Amino acid sequence: MGTYRCWFGAPSARLRRSHFGAPPVRSVLGAPPARSVLGAPPARRVLCALAVIATSALAACGSGSGATSGGGKSIQIWEGYTGAEGKAFTHLVAEYQATHPGVKVSSLFVNNDYTLQKVQTAVAGGNPPDIAYLYGSWAPNVAKLSGVVTLTNVVKRPGVNWNDFWVGERDVATVNGRVIGVPALVDNLAVVYNKALFAKAHLPLPGPNWTWPQFVADARKLTDPAIKQFGTAYVTPGSEDTVWHWEALLWEAGGTLLNSSNTKAAFDSKAGLASLNTLRTMSVTDHSMYLDPTDSAYANLFNSGKIGMLVTGPWDLSGFPNVHYGVQIMPSFPGTNGGHQTISGPDNWVVFNNGASRVKTAEDFILWLTAPAQVKYFSLKTGDLPIRQSAATTSFDAQMDAALPEVSTFISNLGNVRQARPQIATYPQISQAIGTMVVSVLLGKSQPAAALAAAAAKVNQILAGSG
C-alpha cells in the first residue's frame, strides 16, 4: 500500500547532518601564483571556456521544458506512488498510451508531502506539471494558485457521472463551488481491534451499533498495566492527524467545527464537550489510552498485541500481519442525532494550464484514469479504497477482503462520511489551535470546557483575520 498519510508534513526529513566541514583554515591559498598556470593564455581558450559555461547553463535552463514537444499530446504528471501503487499506476499509464496513439504521459515521482511546495515553485517558474497529485487538505490553498484549471464543467461531461464519487471526495475537490480537482484517493477512520485480546478479556466483539461508552468500557477492560497493554491509542503530535480523529467524534456527538458560513467557531458546544470528555476519560481517568507523540509507534504496538483497539484508516491494515484483527465502524454517542459517522481524507488530481491542447489531453487522461474500470483495477491491485461508489459491489468487496482482510468495512464506511472539513484557506491555522486543545486535554493539562473556550477564541481570532 504505502499510502502512509501524513498531514501537512512529512516523516522524512531533509538531513542537515552534512555540516561538519573543515574548520576555518587560515589562508591555505596563500599568495596566488604570480603567473597564469596556462602560460600565455590564448584568448580563444578563454572564449571556449566561456562558451562551454554558457552552453551548459542554457542546457540546464532548458531541460525542464521537454514536455512541450508533441503538439499538446505530451503531458507530464507528478505523483507519489511507490510499491504496488507505483506498479499499478505505471500499468494504467501504459494501457492509456497503447489505446490512445500519439499521446505520451510521462510521470515524475514526487514525494506527496512536498508536491505542493514543488508545484508552487514550478508555477512561479512558469512551467508547472500538467497534472499533480495534491492532498485534499491543501485544496483551498491550491485554488489560489495561478494556472489551476477549473474542472467544474469538465466533470459534468457525459459519462463522467460526478455523483458516483463519494460525497466526501466531491466536497474536498470543490472550493467555493469551483471544482479544482478529480478525486485520486479516499480513506476514512474506523476501529481496528485485536480479536485475541477481546477473547482474552472475555469481551464480546464490537458490533455495528456500538457506542462510545461501550468503547470506553472495553478500553478499560483491555488495559493491563502489568503487561503494558493498552485499551486504545491516540496520536498526539498536535498535527492534523491529532485533529481529524477528534473531528469525527465531534460530528458524531452532533457538533460542527464552524458555523455554516465558516465565519465563527461552533465547536465550543455540548457536542464538543462530550467528545473531549470521552477522550479525557480514557487518557486521564482510566489510563487506558496510549499517547503517541511520534505518530508512528502505535502501529508497531498494535501489531505486537499491546493495544486493543485503534481508530485508524485502511492504510494501516497491511502493517498488522502479526495480529488477528477485525474492523468495525466508529461507535456513536447515545442520545444525539450524530449517529455513526466518520471523517474522510481524500486527495485530488489537479490540472494545470500549459496551453489549451495540453489541458485537453490532461483532462481526458484524468477522466479515463478515474473511470470505473480503472478505479476497480487500481483498488484491487493496491488495496486502496475505490474512489467511486459504483465500484463497491458485493463481489468486488469480497475480492478486496481476500487481499486485505476486513478492508470492506472501510469501503462501506465511506457511506458514513457525511461532512467534510471546512474548505477555507485558514484551515491549517485552525487545525493548529484545535491540535493544541486536544493534546492539552489528553495530557490532563486543561479541563475540556476551558480548552474548548480557549481554542474557540483562538479560532475566531484566526477567522477574523488577526490570527
Binding site for another protein (CB under 8 A): 8-9, 11-17, 19-20, 23-24, 36, 38, 40-43, 45-46, 49-50, 53, 57, 117, 120, 123-124, 141-142, 144-146, 228, 230, 236-239, 290-291, 293-295, 297, 301, 306, 425, 428-429, 432, 436, 439-440, 443, 445
> What is the C-alpha separation between 73 and 357, in angstroms, rounded?
7
Q: How far is the CB of 273 from another protein (least distance, A)?
A: 20
Taking the complex as a whole, the smallest distance from the CB of residue 79 to another protein amounts, in Å, to: 20
Q: Which is nearer to another protein, 54 or 373 (CB)?
A: 54
Q: Which is nearer to another protein, 146 or 285 (CB)?
A: 146
* Residue placing its CB nearer to another protein in the complex, 124 or 196: 124
Question: How far apart are the C-alpha atoms of 94 and 86, rounded to whole Å?
Answer: 12
Alpha-carbon distance of 356 to 361, in angstroms, equals 9
Identify any residues that bridge with 229 across adjacent strands, giving them in sequence order: 224
CB closer to another protein, 137 vs 174: 137
Nearer Cβ to another protein (98/227): 227
| CB of 331 vs another protein, minimal distance in Å | 25
Smallest separation, CB 27 to another protein (Å): 15
Residues 291/236, Cβ–Cβ less than 8 Å: yes
Per-residue cell: 295:
505518530
Minimum Å gap between C-beta 155 and another protein is: 23
The CB-of-224 to another protein minimum distance in angstroms stands at 12
CB closer to another protein out of 262 and 429: 429
| For another protein, the closer CB: 14 or 202 | 14
- To another protein, the closest distance from the beta carbon of 178 in angstroms equals 15
Are 246 and 430 in contact by the 8 Å Cβ rule? The answer is: no
User: Whose grid coordinates read 452532533?
Assistant: 254
